[in-house]
Structure 1
Amino acid sequence: MLKPHVLHSSQTTRTLLPWKKPFVSGDGNVSFPNFHKPPVLGKAKKNVPVRHAASSIKAIVTDTDKITRVKAVVTVQPTVGGILTHLGLSRGLDDITDMFGKTLLLEFVPAELDPKTGLEKPTVKAYAHKTNLLGETTEYECDFELYHGFGTIGAILVENEHHKEMFLNKIVIDGFDDGPVNFTCNSWVPAKNDTDEKRIFFTSKSYLPSDTPSGLKKYRENELVVVRGDGTGELKKYDRIYDYDVYNDLGDPDSSEDLARPVIGGKENPYPRRCRTGRPRTEKDPLSESRSGDVYVPRDEAFSEVKNLSFSAKTVYSVVHALVPALQGAVQDRDKAFPYFTAIDSLFNEGINIPTHKEGFSLGAVLPRLIKAVTDTGNQLLQFETPTFVDRDKFGWMRDVEFGRQTLAGLNPCSIKLVTEWPLKSKLDPKVYGPAESAITTELIEQEIKGFMTVEEAIEQKKLFIVDYHDLFLPYVEAVRKQEGTTLYASRTLFLLSPDSTLMPLAIELTRPKMGDKPQWREVFRPSWNSTGAWLWKLAKAHVLAHDSGYHQLVSHWLRTHACTEPYIIATNRQLSGLHPIYRLLHPHFRYTMEINALARGFLISANGIIENSFSPGNISIQLSSVVYNQEWRFDHQALPGDLISRGMAVEDPSAPHGLKLAIEDYPFANDGLILWDILKQWVVDYVNHYYRDAKAIQSDDELQAWWTEIRTIGHGDKKDEPWWPVLKTPDDLVGIITTIIWVTSGHHAAVNFGQYDFAGYFPNRPTTARVTMPCEEPSDERWERFLVRPEVELMACFPSQVQATTVMAILDVLSNHSPDEEYLGGQIEPFWAEDPIIKGKYEEFAGRLKQLEGIIDERNADEKLKNRFGAGLVPYTLLKPYSESGVTGQGVPNSISI
């Protein structure tokens, strides 16, 4: 007869029935079955190896008389995409199996190898059972009995035997003398019938590769192999594979030749890489990827359910595929201009009645700020919120001083440069594009300066500044003008710095190159006191603002933040283990970026998307972005100090605040940004120095070196041979690299994104396109006569059409919105950091400095001496204030490019 075994531990002494004795499987795994009847005796079946299976080397338990009992509590987030709200047969089966605790298998991995044998210790596994449904979360529990000698838990393997994926928040293990062991998951675990991959989660303690506990080294390496994939096949929704590809999915050649687009990325059109999806190629162009189905992003990059409620593919899809047709139905003519300014005002005061979608789709469900009501006729009332800019000063957009102010404190404060050479000259081939020297002459400028100083003195005293889109746009003017409903010039806009740090525009040069039989045309426009000159100046400003809007959206915003960050995210996941402290430092700054980029490829920057239909460059928009990447983008200039110095807006000065002397003292973007930069850098210094004591530690970190190499040679591989890439040899090198990445994803993105609706929601302030040429370029009697009789009509014809304007306004409203689950700089601490008392203390200092920045910005906006921030009707500069409520607020710096 079988006799009971008495087991002892420091916590308890108890008697186990013989069939509750630890069971050792053929592969060495140990489990403590919760049987209520003896198991069927016989030869143990060897487990089939999976990607994270324990070692196949047998491990024998020699001391099983001391058992440590622990309890694991798994917190699961109920989501639309997860197990808890799915209806149907599979849901019912999952509920039934949950009752018996047979759907969530946990397997504990010892942190260390056996010190005597050097072999892997056996893992311990058990099923968790659902214990409660709390509304916001669901908990699963299981009891584990750890054999003597198991040691500390280094990782947990999770197998989801539900029919649907589930989202694990965290796992907490209680029962140890020194307190609970925490596992922060925040990750999707696929259903077993989708993949046989076991998910691994490591403890919250971070390790450099050389410090990794011996029992985890294999798991650390294997996990990286899993997320890299093998580079083949179409990726599925549940995959976690991070891989690279070029932008070959923006066109749709199978639908129409007009929708074919060149591949962006590679020698011909250099560009950062995006995430590979593996979708099949198009039939008509083997170089292009088809646009069928959802756009793949690694599973953990997807939006949360809260985020999906406030911004999702459905929202953008609704604007593109429901709102635009509805607007066309209301307006009738896609190209119809606004007849007068009061018609623009009516968008905010009265709204537009638009037909209900033919399928009965409710725009109000996804655009609650815009759709105010359903009328008696069943139509929907589209009414925009009044943007802060026009609400404060309805006529501010017309003033030249505001035109100048917004180059320093508006949506695109990243284009203005110091003039350092005179005369202004083009670098383009004069045989092809005409005279290199600008038509803005010394005589013209000195007439505007009115004898206060010479041009040479103005340059010597750093008084002249320029926004220069001449060489960028001139080669593409003819291609843009072949498209319907848009036009383009090359432009230069020159400003004079006043003693009070405000900028006064002096001249605008517009150029059209030789086109066919037409010779080159160029003209300089200046502020004027006569009626004709004043209206031509307004039209010239409209063209320049359209140029700046295109550059802002395609370069300052999309290229410099969204597109250039995606390779950082891919490389971080491919080369840095989830255990790596630098992975854990960067991870919060990558949240949602790949998902928003995928949506942009689907609806915003794609062929016939919002950008092509509503911005001046039209169907060559992304090609222009590629040109700027090729000619101008440098990693070292993405750091704020490097950016300012490269544009002549600052020089190094050890005696000045932040080590830089600004060319314009009252430059709100730079003033606030440099404080934020220093705060970010100090946090990164504290964090990096905690883990890396010297250069040797940096150079011997194989994961870190592979990460930086992959960013340079693959993610940004079209620029891999550039000499300006920072080296990675010392902790200071790493601090510079990491601070730059964090600045781009937080501060820079906030500065160019969250003011979009406030500044551009009233489109005369920032038109996205100029649809007609200047009336003086080729003045027919009829058009010139119309301009002279009713110049306002010419300006309205130049502005975006009613459909274009309202479509962009709706998109900007969405893009300027903070979701309720936004995570801001200095907000809730990451669990990984909270586990380490030193890092926790440094993070609290970081958060405290950010709160101080809030107060500094408020003080600056109330300072009467700062004319670019304070004045009657001015919108204060708040874009770099770290915190915000949800909604369209014009402030708040999220951790990541989350919209």
Structure 2
Amino acid sequence: MYSADEQRGKLGKVAYLEEWITKVTPLLAGETAFDVTFDWDESEGVPGAFIIKNYHHSQFYLKSLTLEDVPQAGRIQFICNSWVYPTHYYNYDRVFFTNQTYLPSTTPKTLVKYREEELVHLRGDGTGELKEWDRVYDYAFYNDLGDPDEGANFARPVLGGSDEYPYPRRGRTGRPPTKTDPTTESRLPLLSLDIYVPRDERFSHVKMSDFLAFGLKSIVQVLVREIKEFGNNTPNEFDTFQDELNLYEGVIKWPKDLLDKLSDVVPLEMLKALLRTEGEPIAKFPMPQVIQEDKFAWRTDEEFAREMLAGMNPVVIRLLQEFPATSKLDPKQYGIQNSSITKEHIEKNLDGLTVDQALKNNKLFILDHHDTVMPYLNRINSTTTKAYATRTILLLKDDGTLKPLAIELSLPHPDGEQCGTVSKIYTPAEHGIEGSIWQLAKAYVVVNDQGVHELINHWLNAHASIEPFVIATNRQLSVLHPIHKLLHPHFRDTMYINAIARHLLLTAGGLIELTVFPARFSMELSSAAYKSWVLTEQALPADLIKRGIAVQDPNHPRGLCLLIEDYPYAVDGLEIWSAIEEWVQDYCSFYYSTDDSVQGDLELQAWWKELRNEGHGDKKDEFCWQKMQTLQELTQTCTIIIWLASAYHGALNYGQFQYAGYLPNRPTISRRFMPETGSPEYDELQSNPDLTYLKTITSQLQTLLGISLIEILSRHASDEVYLGQRNTLEWTSDTEPLKAFKKFGEKLIQIENQILDRNKNEGWKNRFGPVKMPYTLLYPNTSDYTGVGGLTGRGIPNSISI
């Protein structure tokens, strides 16, 4: 028992769980309630925390503790939601606090030391390999992607800690270095999912069951290196679009030579689970929504353009403000990289406008992947990939839809990158060889777009950028802190899904390198993109303004005027953004009455300093960050964090299967260059354009791997917690924040209804498109599907949980 002092309250008498031995607990995961009787000296005041010691032989999950009939307080709730391991695993006491909320300066004196010491335990000492019972949140570079002990082909650069390869930090595991390279962390066995993250950050039993049930561990089997070269050189191809459609509406017989090869390294039962076989080797996937109503509407120019506004990557298109488009690449290193698209290429399709008139009237837009891809293109194309750096110019028509005008495909100059590019321009055509070439040109654009989506907009800007916030929040903000309570639900499962991604998907030879066009240079490409990352520009309004899609308008209800009025991602997103912003403003204002209270919050300032100097330590520049000196800066920062972790990630993740589950619509790799006149490929294009298209895009094995992956990643878990919800109703004892949160939920329901109404309005053509696929990726889904999960294509989870 501690002696009472000013900052450490007195402990009551030891109490025990009653009927621990006699109560029958379920063999499988489930909840069990126990009684406990506390003997408390009323003169010591109201209990604010309790210490628990587990003398059992195994860990248990402590959900909550409720004290009834407490003098002076009545009912006291302790929200725990934590795994408690046997006491010999800890060299300190496990402490849990009430659901009351305190700033550091308002914390009862009797809890101050407990509050401070708990944060010290969570930070650890920065040494040693961390084990599952450790509760340590710490930082590390991305030095766990390569496996140099397996050979030079599996070595990868360390991301983070250098000007050449800047990157956000990941959670530290402390594994020893490889034998070959002391800067690279050794890897776990391929099939192990026992990657260290603090135990409370791992999936729940329900989530893990869902995750494994849909075959991730089975998919990993096909990544065994014995079949890697086989996969790259398989003679098996899709000969017709019907062959691809058979993956969903019919059956496809898996090639016997592939099955024989797989069966050497994959247990039969796992092979059946992956390949969906029972007896006959067949596969069948759910029907992606993009081909449910019309099997070929995806090939139209209107749908190609619409998906830039309402597809799975609606965050790249921008206003074209100068013509021709210019490059920001260093001309000393890359020569002149400006666009070769001329007025003559596009004016014939400008609906009577000149280029100057279209520019002046904000009618021209561009999907520009040129500068992102070009620096890596020589290396990428030295592999089996044959890709281009692309620019696509589009016209905003009077009916609100976009019309592609020209596509530029560029390669580095054969005399060297410093000499600039060799570019070819393609314009729309519907028939004959010109129509077939145009379809291929659009495919090369989508290959770029898929890589940028997966590696930059999805992984880097959501998954990787949020992880340092998860770590810093647990290290510097007590569970009693209001900002911890605000942000914690938006960090659920993020560290663990990121750890799995590093282990299985992003690693050398992993699924991303096998199925996305930058291949082994994928993570380097995302590192290059991080050089221009600025936190404040991740706010949706700031992003839209930066891309020229919106202009500030104080007379507009949103404060912004969209130049593309029928832009589903932006329209729905701004409503969600405003709802989050209002909720955060209401919440933070309750605890911070002045800017001085923000400046004087020691935990908050330590959190912010660590995020800048440690978590995003390669981005210390002041212009990247708010100064965290005002309430407005605090609310804006928290709004951005919640937006990225919930709505932004939801819009980019949960439509993957619906759009890219059918690879002809969203190819991830191009394996041949555009056919040249007089070549055998050109002759084949004339005689069998579909076969040429299929031979150019993602191969059969890569397609099967890719579909298997995104089917898993596009699923909502059955225990998903959506925006506007909490998995614990009594997450705080403060009445006003609870009322504000209820108002937030009601606002989200209003937004749901508005989205449904817009999707019924045939005047908004971009919400439905030729594929007849309503835009629901930013439908909050606050009630209808809770507890269902699956490939719903709708719903905004609180966090980056898959």
> TM-score, normalized by length of structure 2?
0.93
Aligned to 1:124: 13
Give 1:270's match in structure 2, choosing from 166, 173, 194: 166
Q: Percent identity?
A: 44
In the superposition, relative to structure 1, how do residues 313 and 344 fare at CA in structure 2: closer, same or farther (>3 Å)? closer
Aligned to 1:620: 521
Give 1:808's match in structure 2, choosing from 706, 709, 719: 706
Aligned to 1:26: none
Letter in 1 for 2:790: G
Larger radius of gyration: 1
Contact 1:239/1:298, CA 8 A, preserved across alignment: yes
Aligned to 2:399: 500
Structure 2: where are the runs of 5+ without partners? none
Once the two structures are superposed, what CA deviation does each residue of 1:501-533 show, in whole Å capped at 9, x if it has no partner? 100000000111123589853100010255121
Contact 1:824/1:892, CA 8 A, preserved across alignment: yes
Structure 2 counterparts to residues 849-860 of structure 1, below 5 A: 849-860=747-758
Matched, 1:537 2:438: yes
Give 1:700's match in structure 2, choosing from 591, 600, 604: 600
Alignment partners' CA distance in 2, 1:431 and 1:196 = 58
Classify the secondary structure of the residue corresponding to 1:241. Answer: coil
Contact 1:351/1:384, CA 8 A, preserved across alignment: no
Aligned to 2:81: 186
Aligned to 1:171: 65
Name which of structure 1's ranges 381-390 and 356-365 shifts more when overlaid on structure 2: 356-365
Matched, 1:822 2:690: no
Alignment partners' CA distance in 2, 1:430 and 1:794 = 36
Name which of structure 1's ranges 764-773 and 867-876 shifts more when overlaid on structure 2: 867-876
Matched, 1:835 2:733: yes
Aligned to 2:278: 374
Contact 2:223/2:509, CA 8 A, preserved across alignment: no
Give 2:639's match in structure 1, choosing from 719, 736, 739: 739
Shift of 1:380: 5.1
Shift of 1:134: 6.1
In the superposition, relative to structure 1, how do residues 760 and 840 fare at CA in structure 2: closer, same or farther (>3 Å)? same
In the superposition, relative to structure 1, how do residues 137 and 476 fare at CA in structure 2: closer, same or farther (>3 Å)? same
Letter in 1 for 2:179: E
Aligned to 1:766: 666
Once the two structures are superposed, what CA deviation does each residue of 1:344-398 show, in whole Å capped at 9, x if it has no partner? 111112233455855645349966xx73x512xxx55421111111011211111
Higher RCO structure (Cα 8 Å, ≥6 apart): 2
In the superposition, relative to structure 1, how do residues 894 and 304 fare at CA in structure 2: closer, same or farther (>3 Å)? same
Name which of structure 1's ranges 433-442 and 654-663 shifts more when overlaid on structure 2: 433-442
Matched, 1:894 2:785: no
Name which of structure 1's ranges 525-534 and 505-514 shifts more when overlaid on structure 2: 525-534
Classify the secondary structure of the residue corresponding to 1:175. Answer: strand
Give 2:390's match in structure 1, choosing from 443, 467, 491: 491
Alignment partners' CA distance in 2, 1:262 and 1:888 = 36
Aligned to 2:156: 261
Alignment partners' CA distance in 2, 1:335 and 1:192 = 58
Aligned to 2:562: 662
Contact 1:561/1:749, CA 8 A, preserved across alignment: yes
Alignment partners' CA distance in 1, 2:249 and 2:713 = 22
In the superposition, relative to structure 1, how do residues 875 and 529 fare at CA in structure 2: closer, same or farther (>3 Å)? closer
Letter in 1 for 2:610: E
Alignment partners' CA distance in 1, 2:270 and 2:283 = 9
In the superposition, relative to structure 1, how do residues 364 and 159 fare at CA in structure 2: closer, same or farther (>3 Å)? farther
Contact 2:144/2:502, CA 8 A, preserved across alignment: yes
Shift of 1:166: 1.1
Give 2:216's match in structure 1, choosing from 293, 313, 316: 316
Shift of 1:829: 6.1
Letter in 1 for 2:388: Y
Contact 1:592/1:896, CA 8 A, preserved across alignment: yes
Shift of 1:119: 7.2
Contact 2:489/2:726, CA 8 A, preserved across alignment: no
Letter in 2 for 1:800: T
Number of aligned residue pairs: 777
Alignment partners' CA distance in 2, 1:769 and 1:828 = 40
Aligned to 2:269: 362
In the superposition, relative to structure 1, how do residues 641 and 119 fare at CA in structure 2: closer, same or farther (>3 Å)? closer
Shift of 1:878: 0.3
Name which of structure 1's ranges 492-501 and 324-333 shifts more when overlaid on structure 2: 324-333
Contact 1:512/1:521, CA 8 A, preserved across alignment: yes
Alignment partners' CA distance in 2, 1:329 and 1:637 = 42
Aligned to 1:50: none
Contact 2:558/2:574, CA 8 A, preserved across alignment: yes
Shift of 1:330: 12
Contact 1:335/1:803, CA 8 A, preserved across alignment: no
Contact 2:468/2:615, CA 8 A, preserved across alignment: yes
Alignment partners' CA distance in 1, 2:272 and 2:247 = 20
In the superposition, relative to structure 1, how do residues 725 and 396 fare at CA in structure 2: closer, same or farther (>3 Å)? same
Q: Which has the higher helix share?
A: 2
Alignment partners' CA distance in 2, 1:272 and 1:332 = 32
Aligned to 2:36: 142
Alignment partners' CA distance in 2, 1:310 and 1:156 = 34
Alignment partners' CA distance in 1, 2:490 and 2:608 = 17
Once the two structures are superposed, what CA deviation does each residue of 1:698-732 show, in whole Å capped at 9, x if it has no partner? 11000001111111121111110242411211211
Once the two structures are superposed, what CA deviation does each residue of 1:255-286 show, in whole Å capped at 9, x if it has no partner? 12100000011222011010111000011111
Structure 1: where are the runs of 5+ without partners? 1-28, 30-53, 60-112
Aligned to 2:413: 514
Aligned to 2:545: 645
Q: Which has the higher strand share?
A: 1
Classify the secondary structure of the residue corresponding to 1:759. Answer: helix
Give 2:290's match in structure 1, choosing from 389, 404, 416: 389
Give 2:657's match in structure 1, choosing from 735, 757, 772: 757
> TM-score, normalized by length of structure 1?
0.83
Classify the secondary structure of the residue corresponding to 2:394. Answer: strand
Letter in 2 for 1:677: W
Shift of 1:318: 1.4
Contact 2:223/2:511, CA 8 A, preserved across alignment: no
Shift of 1:620: 0.2
Contact 1:407/1:413, CA 8 A, preserved across alignment: yes
Alignment partners' CA distance in 2, 1:734 and 1:517 = 48
Contact 2:440/2:693, CA 8 A, preserved across alignment: yes
Classify the secondary structure of the residue corresponding to 1:153. Answer: coil
Matched, 1:229 2:124: yes
Give 1:198's match in structure 2, choosing from 93, 98, 109: 93
Aligned to 1:285: 181
Classify the secondary structure of the residue corresponding to 1:132. Answer: coil
Shift of 1:296: 1.0
In the superposition, relative to structure 1, how do residues 684 and 492 fare at CA in structure 2: closer, same or farther (>3 Å)? same
In the superposition, relative to structure 1, how do residues 183 and 418 fare at CA in structure 2: closer, same or farther (>3 Å)? same
Alignment partners' CA distance in 2, 1:322 and 1:431 = 44
In the superposition, relative to structure 1, how do residues 761 and 446 fare at CA in structure 2: closer, same or farther (>3 Å)? same
Name which of structure 1's ranges 866-875 and 262-271 shifts more when overlaid on structure 2: 866-875
Structure 2 counterparts to residues 17-28 of structure 1, below 5 A: none
Matched, 1:433 2:325: no
Aligned to 1:524: 425
Aligned to 1:721: 621
CA RMSD of the aligned region, Å?
2.3
In the superposition, relative to structure 1, how do residues 839 and 361 fare at CA in structure 2: closer, same or farther (>3 Å)? farther
Once the two structures are superposed, what CA deviation does each residue of 1:570-619 show, in whole Å capped at 9, x if it has no partner? 00001000110110110000000000000000111111111111111110
Once the two structures are superposed, what CA deviation does each residue of 1:28-71 show, in whole Å capped at 9, x if it has no partner? x2xxxxxxxxxxxxxxxxxxxxxxxx4xxx46xxxxxxxxxxxx
Structure 2 counterparts to residues 865-876 of structure 1, below 5 A: 865-870=763-768, 873-876=771-774
Alignment partners' CA distance in 2, 1:590 and 1:384 = 31
In the superposition, relative to structure 1, how do residues 323 and 313 fare at CA in structure 2: closer, same or farther (>3 Å)? farther
Once the two structures are superposed, what CA deviation does each residue of 1:187-239 show, in whole Å capped at 9, x if it has no partner? 01111233333211000101000000111000000001000011111111111
